[in-house]
């Protein structure tokens, strides 16, 4: 009997309509559009401005688009995993809200929080439910309303982040397509450099935590930059070695879109030409859990069955890793 693998059989994304340009940021903080582009590669980012709409709204839009595209009924979904650092609530989980919104009455759902590595970790986790033979239709969605935890008076972070969602459908495959390998790691040494200090059980919400701006994300850019390059390069290199592959065997590397200079440094280290590295950070900024599925969505028509694709990410924690997929369609 052939080995059951979890193949990506559909993908869809959602981008809010409102655009925040570098020029517009000049009116909010002491910065300029050319400096932002030179330091990050970002030219604009999309923002979900409606205060009544949260992460589950964007995720629901992405999942509904995915269902329509693949012809799958909500009742056929076995499991939905949502990766996010900006859930609607601590509880109930955002995955449950998405299932309610789309009418997935036969599914169970939960959230995974691994910062910018959330989608990568969730896709691997979802794939294991398929490989086990227990489930046939698993949806993994990465969605973040980063504008809800961004301090638009902090010029070092407000230039980086945008809002978006992206979803994939995982289904069984016995022809060798799908997830081939994954390598993931965490290291809590990075907690001090990238975090949101307030809101959890360590620092519950108070007037003091709000006044101190502890409910916004904090990032110390230099150590995060170095660790991100090292982590993603290490992860991709490990995947290549474990599978006896060279860069020439890989159709695309799909890195987390944190900073163009990080992406370029990783590509240079691995000797991957940039025309085989997916980059759309200039349009969307860092959408955290949504970056990788948005890239796959945009490059979908350039992929064909049998193409080898490596996904790689790095995020707060620190969290990082890579996974090797053989494209199925």
Q: Mind giving me the DSSP string for 244-288?
A: T--GGG-SEEEE--S-HHHHHHHHHHHT--GGGB---HHHH-B-G
Residue 116 designated active-site: yes
Q: For residue range 39-71, what is the model confidence (pLDDT) as tens digits?
A: 999 999 999 999 999 999 999 999 999 999 999
Q: For residue range 12-31, what is the model confidence (pLDDT) as tens digits?
A: 999 999 999 999 999 999 99
* CATH superfamily of the domain spanning 180-326: Thiolase/Chalcone synthase (3.40.47.10)
Residue 256 designated active-site: yes
Mean pLDDT of 128-151: 98
Provide φ and ψ at 221, rounded to 5°. -60, -40
pTM for the predicted model, two decimal places: 0.98
Q: List the catalytic residue out of 22, 158, 286, 295.
A: 286
Radius of gyration, alpha carbons of the chain = 19
Average pLDDT, the chain: 98
Q: How far is CA 11 from CA 28, 94, 163, in A?
A: 35, 19, 18
Q: Mind giving me the DSSP string for 163-219?
A: EEEEEEEEEEESSS-EEEEEEEEE-GGGGGTEE--SSSSSS---HHHHHTTTTS-EE
Q: List the catalytic residue out of 99, 116, 158, 295.
A: 116
Confidence bin at 279 (pLDDT 50/70/90) = very high
What are the residues whose beta carbons fall under 8 Å from the beta carbon of 111, sequence distance 6 or more? 81, 82, 83, 84, 87, 93, 94, 95
Q: List the catalytic residue out of 99, 256, 259, 295.
A: 256
Give the residue from 185, 315, 292 showing the smallest Cα distance to 238. Answer: 185
How is residue 205 written in tokens? Answer: 């919400």
Q: Which of 3.60.110.10, 3.40.920.10, 3.40.718.10, 3.40.47.10 would CATH assign to domain 5-177?
A: 3.40.47.10
Percent of the chain whose predicted confidence (pLDDT) is above 90: 99
Domains 5-177 and 180-326 share a fold: yes
Q: For residue range 200-245, what is the model confidence (pLDDT) as tens digits?
A: 999 999 999 999 999 999 999 999 999 999 999 999 999 999 999 9
Domain limits of the chain?
5-177, 180-326
User: For position 94, what pLDDT does the model report?
Assistant: 98
User: For position 9, what pLDDT does the model report?
Assistant: 98
Confidence bin at 1 (pLDDT 50/70/90) = low
Residue 244 designated active-site: no
User: For position 239, what pLDDT does the model report?
Assistant: 98
């Amino acid at each position: 009997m052939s080995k059951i693998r979890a193949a990506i059989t559909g993908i869809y994304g959602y981008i809010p309509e409102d655009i925040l340009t570098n020029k517009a940021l000049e009116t909010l903080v002491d910065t300029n559009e050319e400096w932002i582009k030179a330091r990050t590669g970002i030219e604009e980012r999309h923002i979900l401005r409606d205060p009544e709409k949260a992460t589950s709204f964007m995720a629901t839009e992405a999942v509904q688009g995915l269902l329509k595209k693949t012809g799958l009924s909500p009742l056929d979904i076995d499991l939905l995993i949502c990766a996010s650092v900006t859930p609607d609530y601590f509880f109930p989980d955002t995955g449950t809200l998405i299932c309610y919104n789309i009418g997935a009455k036969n599914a169970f759902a939960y959230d995974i929080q691994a910062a910018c590595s959330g989608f990568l970790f969730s896709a691997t986790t979802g794939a294991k439910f398929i490989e086990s033979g227990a489930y046939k239709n698993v949806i993994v969605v990465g969605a973040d309303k980063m504008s809800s935890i961004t301090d638009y008076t902090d010029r070092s972070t407000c230039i980086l982040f945008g809002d978006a969602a992206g979803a994939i459908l995982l289904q069984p495959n016995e022809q060798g397509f799908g997830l081939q390998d994954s390598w993931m790691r965490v290291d809590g040494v990075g907690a001090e450099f990238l975090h949101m200090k307030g809101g959890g059980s360590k620092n519950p919400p108070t007037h003091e935590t709000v006044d101190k701006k502890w409910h916004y994300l904090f990032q110390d850019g230099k150590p995060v930059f170095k660790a991100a390059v090292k982590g993603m390069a290490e992860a991709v290199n490990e995947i290549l070695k474990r599978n006896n592959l060279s860069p020439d065997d890989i159709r695309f590397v799909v890195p987390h879109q944190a900073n163009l200079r990080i992406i370029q440094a990783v590509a240079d280290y691995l000797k991957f030409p940039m025309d085989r590295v997916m980059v759309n950070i200039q349009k969307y900024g860092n959408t955290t859990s949504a970056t990788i599925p948005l890239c796959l969505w945009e490059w979908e028509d350039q992929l064909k069955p049998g193409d080898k694709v490596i996904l790689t990410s790095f995020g707060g924690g620190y969290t990082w890793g890579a996974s090797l997929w053989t494209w199925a369609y």
